[in-house]
């Protein structure tokens, strides 16, 4: 429970606030780097403090627990990515479905590459230890996915209107699952299939478009 500060307490000096924000940003950047190298369960606060170049006490003053760290990383990622879909939609507002699908698949791969460690932390830790932050994160992801599917649906006019949004959501989910499996987790199938970044983008775009084409019949 967070309580309001007493009226008699002096407010922190702006310089102190700026320094605190810079320290927190350095900690989160360090955490993202560590999560590219190891699983969330293997990350220790001592290692994080060392990578961030701060004292362990300084770290705990800003990040009191690993769950708090995960929450901060999610919030930072959402803040950095908040305007990305809207900017992409605006840039390609006149594009046909084929181009939109390619743009979306490229964006998916870029997000998987940039957030590989955080995505692993989500699926391997947070969903195994559910709490309110997990539910909030799921809601945010769902809202973003629905908005991207709506972007596709605007040009999927050959699909019956009643099925258009759901068809685009499923196509998007399929493309994301394949991209996440390949980019975030590598080859776990045992099939030893190798794809370049460009080839993966082409193949999941084809997957998306093929499914949407099948939905027109």
pLDDT at 5 > cutoff 60: no
pLDDT for 1: 39
SS3 175: helix
The more confidently predicted of residues 66 and 122 is: 66
Nearest to 51 by CA among 66, 29, 73: 29
pLDDT for 131: 60
pLDDT at 139 > cutoff 90: no
The token duo for 13 is 């000096």
What does each C-alpha distance from 178 to 5, 35, 108 come to in angstroms? Answer: 48, 21, 10
- Mean pLDDT across 125-154: 77
SS3 2: coil
pLDDT for 106: 94
Tell me the angle at which helices 161-183 and 132-153 cross, rounded to the nearest 10 degrees: 120
d(Cα 103, Cα 89) in Å, to the nearest integer?
Answer: 9
Contact 34, 47 (CB under 8 A): yes
- For 178-200, the pLDDT digits (tens) are 998 888 887 655 666 788 889 99
pLDDT for 2: 38
The more confidently predicted of residues 130 and 146 is: 146
pLDDT band at residue 81 using 50, 70 and 90 as cut-offs:
low
How many Cα atoms within 13 Å fall on the side-chain side of residue 28?
Answer: 20
pLDDT for 132: 59
First to last CA, the chain: 55
Quickly list H helices, the chain.
14-35, 45-52, 56-62, 66-81, 84-91, 97-114, 116-121, 132-153, 161-183, 197-214
What does each C-alpha distance from 121 to 5, 68, 71, 117, 172 come to in angstroms? Answer: 34, 13, 11, 6, 22
What does each C-alpha distance from 160 to 68, 96, 101, 210 come to in angstroms? Answer: 45, 17, 18, 16
What pTM was estimated for this model as a whole?
A: 0.74
pLDDT for 79: 66
d(Cα 213, Cα 164) in Å, to the nearest integer?
Answer: 11
d(Cα 99, Cα 54) in Å, to the nearest integer?
Answer: 46
Q: Which of 4-18, 44-58, 175-189 has the highest mean pLDDT?
A: 44-58
pLDDT for 125: 67
d(Cα 100, Cα 157) in Å, to the nearest integer?
Answer: 13
């Amino acid at each position: 429970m967070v309580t309001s500060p007493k009226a008699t307490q002096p407010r922190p000096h702006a310089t102190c606030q700026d320094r605190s924000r810079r320290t927190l940003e350095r900690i989160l950047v360090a955490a993202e780097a560590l999560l590219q190298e190891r699983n969330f369960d293997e990350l220790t606060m001592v290692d994080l403090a060392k990578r961030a170049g701060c004292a362990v006490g300084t770290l705990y003053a800003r990040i009191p627990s690993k769950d708090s760290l995960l929450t901060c990383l999610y919030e930072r990622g959402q803040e950095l990515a908040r305007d990305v879909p809207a900017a992409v939609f605006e840039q390609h507002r006149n594009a046909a479905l084929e181009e939109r699908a390619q743009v979306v698949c490229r964006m998916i791969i870029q997000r998987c590459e940039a957030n590989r460690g955080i995505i692993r932390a989500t699926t391997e830790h947070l969903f195994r230890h559910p709490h309110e932050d997990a539910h909030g994160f799921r809601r945010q992801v769902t809202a973003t996915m629905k908005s991207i599917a709506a972007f596709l649906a605007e040009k999927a006019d050959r699909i019956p209107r009643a099925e258009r949004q759901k068809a685009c959501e499923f196509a998007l989910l399929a493309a994301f699952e394949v991209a996440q499996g390949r980019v975030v987790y590598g080859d776990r199938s045992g099939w030893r299939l190798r794809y370049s970044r460009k080839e993966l983008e082409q193949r999941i775009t084809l997957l998306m478009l093929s499914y949407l084409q099948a939905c027109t019949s």
